[in-house]
Structure 1
Amino acid sequence: MEESDRNSNKEQSYDSTSEPFLRVKNEFAFNSLCIIYVTHLVIHNFTSLLKFTLLTTKRITNNSILRHLFTLTITAPFILLECTLNSSLGYAGITKLSSSGVCHPPSSPYYERTQKFTSYASLALCLEAGGRLPKTMRNASQPLQQNRKEYSRNAFAHWSDEDNDCLNTRHELLQQLSTARVTMSSDGCRVVRGRWNDPYSGKVFLDATEMDIDHLVPLAWAWENGAYDWSESARRSFANDPINLFAVHLTLNRSKGGKGPDQWLPPNADFHCQYISRYLRVVISYDFSTDTRDQIRRLQANLC
């Protein structure tokens, strides 16, 4: 469970528009009302029976008493059953959006532990509102997201040669970011040597084969946070946008993988603020949710 979920207090909030049938604050209160009602029914029946006994001059037969008791015995369980069903319909079916922005459907292992939440009638509505799945459910829940396919790097047309000069985005960027004159391959289509300042490590490299072009906002991270629903042209633009690209040492790029800034930051601590600020700039420039942008803003506030 995510840490903020684990530490949440017992306060609860409900979205009355998505749960109009939810009339009490929690399941315990609802069941308590049911028990009070059944208790009232029992007392009422016995009171009526006592009044009948005191006021009538006729002797009550055992059959009369049995009829009253039989009515009470049959009625009470049905009322209890109705209470239980109403409670289940009004409470157990909701999806809980925790204070940390995680959607917990009833199948979530942390559903019962999540006590501070906003309710939604379905998981889809919760996700549309900007919530995200618990990490333990992200793989298993793919079928629930009809527009979401399994991530593939091929979904982002990257390293394209937009100007048809035989230099793809990678080599054009290596050329632009080199602080010294570059050496090209014999066909002029690849950068072989140059001088690159790697902001992630704070070191300088001369051999192009040691360099990777890193997507500051990783393609996999972007996919998980909504790029699966973008158009092909939007994903192509994102994958080749120079604002989202850095020339860095290949070992750092590969250690980062698809991790977001909450899981990975460059080893060069002096670059942390610039890293997260540029990350936010990219996220704002593309169609990410308000919730995703706010998460990056919070990280920026901590790092800068």
Structure 2
Amino acid sequence: MSRKTLLWLVAAVVVSLVVAYQTLGSTAARHANDFAARADVPTVQPGADVLAGILVVPVRMHRYDYRRAAFGEAWDDNNDAPGGHNGCDTRNDILDRDLVDKTYVFTKRCPLAVATGTLHDPYTNTVIAFQRGAKVGEAVQIDHIVPLSYAWDMGAYDWPQPLRVRFANDPANLLAVQGQSNQHKGDSPPAEWMPPNGAFHCQYALQFIAVLRGYSLPVDQASTGVLRQAAATCPVG
């Protein structure tokens, strides 16, 4: 192969990569816009019981046999996030969904991984600069709104494995949040922890309830009052 031919091949590959990167970036921007459209403050109907149809149990019975591995690998690619099933795991998909002002990088685990971005943290109402790196989890983490351990105690221990994996990777139950607030929350239900940002209580409560309902999970009695009180701050639809 001549040097001239080799140079032409290299140039063609570079052009192809640039076009692919621009296309993927446009797709990611559309996905971000889709999330923004879904992120409006929800409304509730006057007089509606937001917990209607959800079983209430007296207390949460800690089983003490919870293990993270019961919900599969930390993250997989079989999720319904915008762009899911795209070669990127759920963590990368949620970062792409929830962050703004993003740049991207190609990695072995994700062809379009978020390299940098900005998180408007719903839990603390602070702005956090995200930069991909070894200690990135200290600043930005992906929270399970209904914690895995709580779900386990409330019935997920008896689920088939595929359902637990789906639950752990369900975008409806996931948020990119400030790492420290996520650590403070741990596996606490609403009776023990609510986001410090009171303006987010409505959305947090309704998302928590929606996940319970979607997976037919009960709620502990102590959390019902907190959830109803938070839902009472929602706009009336």
Indicate the TM-score class for this superposition, using the shorter chain for normalisation.
0.5 to 0.7
Which amino acid in 2 is paired with 1:167? C
Identify the residue that residue 242 of structure 1 maps to in structure 2: 171
* Deviation (angstroms), 1:298: 3.2
Paired residues for 1:135-174 under 5 Å: 138=62, 150-157=65-72, 158-162=74-78, 165-174=86-95
For residues 249 and 205 of structure 1, the distance between their equivalents in structure 2, rounded to whole angstroms, comes to: 7
Distance 1:225 1:133, change over 3 A: closer
For residues 132 and 283 of structure 1, the distance between their equivalents in structure 2, rounded to whole angstroms, comes to: 16
Paired residues for 1:156-195 under 5 Å: 156-157=71-72, 158-162=74-78, 165-185=86-106, 187=108, 189=110, 190-195=113-118
Structure 2 residue matching 1:247: 3-state secondary structure: strand
Contact 1:221 1:258 in 2 (8 A): yes
Structure 2 residue matching 1:180: 3-state secondary structure: strand
The higher relative CO (CA closer than 8 Å, separation ≥ 6) is in 2
Paired residues for 1:1-304 under 5 Å: 130-132=57-59, 138=62, 150-157=65-72, 158-162=74-78, 165-185=86-106, 187=108, 189=110, 190-208=113-131, 209=136, 210-289=139-218, 292=219, 296-303=223-230, 304=232
* Deviation (angstroms), 1:273: 1.9
Structure 1 residue matching 2:141: 3-state secondary structure: strand
* Deviation (angstroms), 1:300: 2.3
For residues 65 and 109 of structure 2, the distance between their equivalents in structure 1, rounded to whole angstroms, comes to: 37
Deviates more, 1:255-264 or 1:152-161: 152-161
For residues 186 and 236 of structure 1, the distance between their equivalents in structure 2, rounded to whole angstroms, comes to: 24
Distance 1:259 1:293, change over 3 A: closer
For residues 271 and 164 of structure 1, the distance between their equivalents in structure 2, rounded to whole angstroms, comes to: 30
For residues 148 and 101 of structure 2, the distance between their equivalents in structure 1, rounded to whole angstroms, comes to: 30
Contact 1:211 1:247 in 2 (8 A): yes
Which amino acid in 2 is paired with 1:254? Q
For residues 106 and 178 of structure 2, the distance between their equivalents in structure 1, rounded to whole angstroms, comes to: 20
Structure 1 residue matching 2:152: 3-state secondary structure: helix
Structure 1 residue matching 2:127: 3-state secondary structure: strand
For residues 164 and 283 of structure 1, the distance between their equivalents in structure 2, rounded to whole angstroms, comes to: 25
Contact 2:57 2:220 in 1 (8 A): no
TM-score w.r.t. structure 1 length? Answer: 0.48
**Identity, % of aligned pairs?**
33
* Deviation (angstroms), 1:130: 4.6
* Deviation (angstroms), 1:256: 0.8
Identify the residue that residue 20 of structure 1 maps to in structure 2: none
Aligned length: 163
* Deviation (angstroms), 1:226: 1.1
Contact 1:156 1:235 in 2 (8 A): yes
* Deviation (angstroms), 1:223: 0.7
* Deviation (angstroms), 1:294: 6.8
TM-score w.r.t. structure 2 length? Answer: 0.61
Which amino acid in 2 is paired with 1:153? R
* Deviation (angstroms), 1:236: 1.0
For residues 204 and 151 of structure 2, the distance between their equivalents in structure 1, rounded to whole angstroms, comes to: 16
Structure 2: stretches of 5+ with no match in the other structure: 1-55, 79-83, 233-237
* Deviation (angstroms), 1:193: 0.8
